[in-house]
Amino acid sequence: MSEHQETPNLEVSHSGSEAGVATAEMLHVDRYEGIWMRISLVVLVIFFVTVLVSSFSTGFQVPGVYQRIDPATIHNEGSPFANPEVRELAPGKYEAYIRAQIWSFTPNEIRIPAGSTVTFYATSQDVQHGVKIANTNINMMILPGQVAKITTSFNKPGTYNFVCHEYCGSQHHTMYGRIIVEDPNALEAETAAAGPLLSGFVH
C-alpha cells in the first residue's frame, strides 16, 4: 500500500523538474537582447524623470481645451472674443482673450506689469493657427471650434514677441504680436516726472 502511494510522488517530482527545465529554456534571453532591453528601460526612466522635472521645476504644461465654441458666434454680443482684451481680475492677476484670424491676432499688443500672472484664452475664427510666446512656456494650437487655455507668469520686464507657428496661408509670416511687460517702478517714476510738467502746462 505504501509502495503504491510513493509512485505518484516520484512522477510528480519528475514532471515538476521537466517543467522547470522547460521554463528556464523559455526565459532564456540572448546576451545582446538583454543589453538592449536594459538600455530601453533606462531611456524610459530618463524620459519619465524629464517630464517630472519639466512639470514641477520649469513650469512645463500642456495647453488644455477649456471649452467648445461655434466659430460663427464668436462675434456675437456677450462673447468674450467679440472684443478680446486683457482684464485685471485682482492685483497681479489677469486674463487675456485672444482671437486668431487670417492673418492677425486680436489684440496684437498686450501690456501688463512685471510680476503678473496671466491666463490666456485663445480661439480661431477661421483656420488652424498656433501661438508661441518667446521666452515663456507657452506654445499652443489655436483651433476653430475650441478655446485653448494656459497660464504663465511674467516676472521679467521686457518685450515678449509671439508668432503664429502653424502655416495658415500666404501671409502667415506677418501674423505676430507682442506682450510688453512693464517695470512698475519705472512707471511710477515716469508718472511722478510727468506730474509737474502736466500741472505747469495746465496753469
**Residue range 24-40: average pLDDT?**
82
Domain that holds residue 175: 64-188
Number of domains in the chain: 2
pLDDT, greater one: 53 or 129: 129
In the predicted model, is pLDDT for residue 136 greater than 90? no
Same domain, 51 and 68: no
In the predicted model, is pLDDT for residue 40 greater than 90? yes
Alpha-carbon span 45 to 134, nearest angstrom: 30
pLDDT band at 16 (very low <50, low <70, confident <90, very high): low
- Per-residue pLDDT of 64-117, as tens digits, reads 677 898 999 999 988 999 999 999 999 999 999 999 999 999 999 999 999 999
Same domain, 41 and 87: no
Residue 154, C-beta contacts closer than 8 angstroms, at least 6 positions apart: 112, 114, 115, 116, 117, 118, 136, 160, 179, 181
Q: Which amino acid, residue 119?
A: T
Dump the DSSP string for 7-51: HHHHHHHHHHHHHHHHHHHHT---HHHHHHHHHHHHHHHHHHHHH
Strand partners, 130: 141
pLDDT band at 10 (very low <50, low <70, confident <90, very high): very low
Q: Per the domain annotation, does 127 fall within a domain?
A: yes
Of the candidates 135, 126, 78, 77, which has an alpha carbon nearest to the alpha carbon of residue 106? 126
Q: What is the grid cell recorded at 94?
A: 489677469
In the predicted model, is pLDDT for residue 203 greater than 50? no
Q: Supply the CATH number for residue 122's domain.
A: 2.60.40.420
- Residue 186's pLDDT is 72
pLDDT, greater one: 12 or 39: 39
Same domain, 14 and 71: no
